[in-house]
Structure 1
């Protein structure tokens, strides 16, 4: 399997496009795909799901997936990618779990969800607050419709998938490469090859990225203290947290929270 890893940096990206074949890949965003014309095949793990016009697929962060299109007819979709920090209330749930069945049929979506998706396509990226409001409507209506299970139980037995699922479920703990290899019953050298060959990263960098994404969500959506967020994200100390955060964003966590609130119009109390 040729696998791509996509690290999407935009908070919310909503586009209208022709559906096409997309190779197996994973990324750290929530992805919504709504079929506006034709059909689409959504592959998650080793399963293939068929979407008709009006159906929506929902792919949680760090889940291997791909797309296939059959036939010469026009196939069009709305595609929405949402960074972890913009998911809001559902952020922690989407990090730990994944849908057993990742497709919601047209009859279950409801007009309110379809209208919100349509408005997201017409909203400019800089209108972040409006985009996020429509997103919350979609999530509030759709997440309760899904049968969720732990990520480690959803998808395939592929080592890449197991690695991603394990870190998604344990990054807030004091995990090590040796401990993960022991729990997955594989050689730590095999896991190291997954990181270097697939993610072009090492174990520590990948775990820190997962922790920082989670911390960003908490910085944006809660009033918790920096030290609370630091420790709950899995960092040993605030000093380690600050160093890793600055390497990624070129600013401190407190500066990031301030800039995000200014950008999104949140009033500090």
Structure 2
């Protein structure tokens, strides 16, 4: 199975059950693979991957995740984490584990974030509308706080969360990497259904040539209409998005040093090496060979 179910028929509104002993939610997940479909919810979400790897979609961003990946996702921003195909094999013994924090924008009161002292945190929360990948030294500090959260309760847990948010607010901008190019909210069920039919089709067929005619037929729309619709909803062209899915898959294949660059290109859906190299460099700001050297260190 290759990402055939990474997005369901529409972006689901996930309703999270409140807890009686805390103003925010802390989860420690352990699955054979991440089962949650393409979804959104009104809470902020901080996700730490403690074990597993695969592909994540946040808004219109397509990227890989692996152990240690840390992302802050703003309210109503559609997202999904899908493990690599080997996690879905019948006899797989692999595990997908993560620590997740959810909190509502007003979980400390409507005006709390409007206080002068909270201005730096308010800025970070605003920036998370597109999703932020947390990297560098601040990632190490935030991970330490997240791992310790489960061992504290009550006021100490709340203070730890506020300390975590201040760590983010004080981090260099370069360590908080925007993901989606623009905020994208999952709020229109009719349009979500159409969008996800296209996204699912791309997920199922990205290793083969995909034509605009196929996508137009899928939605019973004209080619110009389908292109306008996709660009309006994702702020990216169909070709651009498809190339990002292909390059993301290529990055995973490049971790296997036994595969040649040409083999990686063809297995990722590119029909010639020069186009693969060009698209890879445009998306990753380095060549496939350079990427392999960096990740192989």
- TM-score when scaled to structure 2? 0.45
- Larger RCO: Structure 1 or Structure 2 (Cα < 8 Å, ≥ 6 residues apart)? 2
Task: Judging by fraction of residues, say which structure has more strand.
Answer: 1
Q: Which structure has the larger Rg over C-alpha atoms?
A: 2
